[in-house]
């Protein structure tokens, strides 16, 4: 186990009807004028937005709404929201939705607390530890932004999907009522579950030795999500499955499963370029490239892939051929993706990048990673091109 710092301060308020507590919670964190950020409208249809408004009003708080966040959220709306928030004297950002909504709130929070444009952070030209306070009412188990230190925003000009990570961006609180996720379409449930799996897998595929404790935690999360995803897709109102997915979403991306080890995150970098260029659902994009990544790198440490196969997908261990066990685990992951309706190639994802687009995405990966991506096996531009090509 290597040295680490673990900072996960977000207060989690979990369970049925917990969204009614949102007003008192914002008040407790010192909010007076709240910007309620939401997406393309499901929160209006379900009545959740009305309930949130009522809770804020009951707590004596005033608010202004900012709707219209789209998946793979855009910098333009962050700027529009910042302009309104400044004009209205907003001092608390409340995200009601998923990762895209929470990340938009984080973007506005950074913009309010700093005197430079958000793209300076996204393009790594500046850093900051200042952000306006944020809370969330989560409606989809997926990105983990409700407790993560990360913000992912797409700069429209050039389709650059970029992130900025700092512990200051961990929200003050996250309200998680699994019932709010009953209305998710199966595709979004599956895409979210895949993202949750991937957040733990990006940390699980490591060459750091002596990490058994966190391996067992990670394997517990992965096996639980593997089953809960299938159950939630079969019956969208399966409370226990929804609860498992929701809590796992936070535990997978609050840093816990990365403690004491070097993490990878190459697959996320590969996907973010797909999201920026083709606007695909994030979790589905991860599924489309992971198998190609895995087959490209597994020989670096076949034992780790074999462990994944045996512990997460119950693949029988072949003591005479570790690589065969490793490959069977990759196949088992792909079968699981198909069982829940996720793609395992870019063709199945519905995109067909040209060679020039592949080259462009690989170049952008290099810019993001500073010359290489990933740590399990560092990948350079030619490697990335091959991984994209093998994922066709």
The item of ligand NZQ, Zn ion, none sharing an interface with residue 145, based on CB under 5 to 8 Å by kind, is ligand NZQ
133 binding ligand NZQ? (CB under 6 A): no
Helices (H), ranges, the chain: 22-28, 42-45, 48-58, 75-88, 99-113, 118-122, 186-204, 212-234, 239-253, 266-278, 282-297, 302-313, 322-339, 346-349, 355-369, 381-390
- Binding flags for Zn ion, 92-121, as an x/- string (CB under 5 A): ------------------------------
Largest Cα span, the chain: 68
State the Cα–Cα distance between residues 307 and 300, nearest whole angstrom.
Answer: 14
Q: How far is the CB of 103 from ligand NZQ (least distance, A)?
A: 5
Stretch that binds ligand NZQ, among 27-35, 179-187, 221-229, 323-331 (CB under 6 A): 179-187
- Binding flags for Zn ion, 299-338, as an x/- string (CB under 5 A): ----------------------------------------
User: Out of 81, 133, 144, 291, which residue is the one contacting ligand NZQ (CB under 6 A)?
Assistant: 144
Q: How far is the CB of 128 from ligand NZQ (least distance, A)?
A: 16
Q: Please tell me the count of residues contacting ligand NZQ according to CB under 6 A.
A: 34
Nearer to ligand NZQ among residue 99 and residue 133 (C-beta): 99
Q: What are the contacts of 81-90 at 24+ separation with CB within 8 A?
A: 81/35, 81/37, 81/107, 81/108, 82/107, 82/108, 82/111, 82/112, 82/118, 84/35, 85/35, 85/112, 86/112, 88/33, 88/35, 88/64, 89/33, 90/33, 90/34, 90/35, 90/64, 90/132
User: Out of 146, 195, 202, 273, which residue is the one contacting Zn ion (CB under 5 A)?
Assistant: 195
The item of ligand NZQ, Zn ion, none sharing an interface with residue 100, based on CB under 5 to 8 Å by kind, is ligand NZQ
DSSP at 155: E
What residues make contact with ligand NZQ under the rule CB under 6 A? 39-42, 71-73, 97-101, 103, 139-140, 142-145, 148, 150-152, 180-181, 183-184, 188, 192, 195, 253, 268, 275, 282
């Amino acid at each position: 186990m290597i040295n680490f710092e673990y900072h996960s301060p977000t207060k989690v308020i979990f369970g049925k009807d917990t969204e009614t507590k949102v007003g008192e919670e914002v008040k407790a964190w010192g909010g007076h004028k709240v910007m309620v950020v939401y997406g393309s409208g499901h929160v209006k249809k379900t009545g959740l937005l009305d309930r949130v408004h009522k809770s804020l009003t009951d707590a004596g708080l005033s608010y202004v709404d900012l709707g219209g966040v789209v998946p793979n959220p855009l910098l333009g709306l962050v700027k529009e929201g910042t302009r309104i928030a400044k004009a209205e004297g907003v001092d608390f950002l409340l995200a009601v939705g998923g990762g895209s909504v929470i990340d938009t709130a984080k973007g506005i929070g950074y913009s309010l607390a700093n005197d430079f444009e958000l793209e300076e952070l996204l393009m790594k030209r500046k850093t900051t530890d200042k952000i306006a306070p944020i809370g969330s009412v989560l409606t989809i188990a997926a990105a983990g932004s409700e407790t993560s230190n990360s913000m992912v925003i797409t700069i429209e000009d050039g389709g650059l999907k970029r992130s900025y990570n700092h512990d200051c961006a961990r929200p003050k609180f996250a309200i998680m009522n699994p019932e709010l996720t009953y209305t998710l379409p199966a595709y979004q449930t599956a895409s979210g579950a895949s993202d949750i799996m991937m957040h733990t897998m990006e940390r699980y595929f490591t060459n750091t030795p002596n990490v058994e404790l966190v391996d067992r935690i990670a394997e517990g999360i992965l096996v639980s999500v593997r089953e809960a995803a299938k159950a939630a897709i079969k019956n969208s109102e399966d409370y226990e499955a929804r609860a498992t997915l929701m809590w796992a979403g936070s535990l997978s991306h609050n840093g816990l499963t990365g403690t004491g080890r070097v993490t990878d995150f190459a697959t996320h970098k590969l996907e973010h370029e797909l999201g920026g260029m083709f606007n695909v659902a994030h979790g589905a994009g991860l599924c489309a490239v992971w198998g190609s990544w895995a087959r490209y790198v597994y020989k670096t440490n076949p034992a780790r892939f074999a462990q994944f196969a045996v512990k997460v997908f119950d693949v029988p261990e072949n003591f005479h051929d570790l690589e065969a066990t490793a490959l069977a685990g990759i196949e088992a992951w792909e079968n699981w993706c198909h069982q829940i309706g996720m793609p395992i190639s870019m063709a199945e994802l519905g995109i067909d990048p040209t060679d020039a687009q592949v080259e462009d995405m690989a170049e952008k990966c290099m810019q993001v990673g500073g010359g290489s991506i990933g740590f399990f096996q560092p990948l350079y531009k030619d490697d990335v091109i091959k991984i994209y090509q093998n994922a066709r």
